[in-house]
Amino acid sequence: MAENKNPSDPGDKLVLIVDDDDAVRDLLGFVVMKEGFRAEKVSDGDQALNKARELMPDLMLLDLMLPGCGGFEILRQLQTGETSAIPIIMITGRFMDRSTSEMIRRESNVVDYLEKPVNPAVLSALLHKILKTCPPRRNAPEAKEG
């Protein structure tokens, strides 16, 4: 009988969340963990670079507008060395024209681009698609016998 090891378990995947807004960071963390992934959260670019290099996450959610070292600078720094294989979803609350958003999408490590407010259902589906995982089973309420 074949071993029943599920390679698509979200619990095996780590998502690094980078956003300077506490509420957004908490919401993203909630969605990531609700979908069964492990999450690490940081609030600035320096922490993001250090954590990415230290933890080698399976995916990063990266805010474009960060104080100090901005998201685009972090994106570029992560394109070299071991971190170049980390897929990144860029997130921004700032309106971007089509040419700017297309330029960001063309970066080698960017797999998608989301605008705030982030739709949790869209983010959930995107995480599972990119990381090739299955959503956790939601237990349906049991029928009561009468």
Please report, for the chain, the start and end positions of each structural domain, with discontinuous segments joined by +.
11-131
Q: How many CB atoms lie within 10 A of CB 133?
A: 21
- The string of pLDDT tens digits covering residues 106-141 is 888 999 989 999 999 999 999 999 999 998 886 655
* Bridge partners, residue 89, by sequence: 61, 112
Q: Block means of pLDDT (10 residues each) for the chain, length 146 residues?
A: 57 96 97 98 95 98 89 92 95 78 84 93 96 82 52
CATH number corresponding to 11-131: 3.40.50.2300
Tokens of 83: 């971190």
Confirm if 15 and 127 have CB atoms less than 8 A apart. Answer: yes
Q: What is the pTM of this model?
A: 0.87
- Residue 88, classed as helix, strand or coil, is strand
pLDDT of the residue at 83: 96
Tokens of 75: 């994106």
Which whole-number Å values give the CA distances from 10 to 77, 81, 104, in the listed order? 27, 25, 27
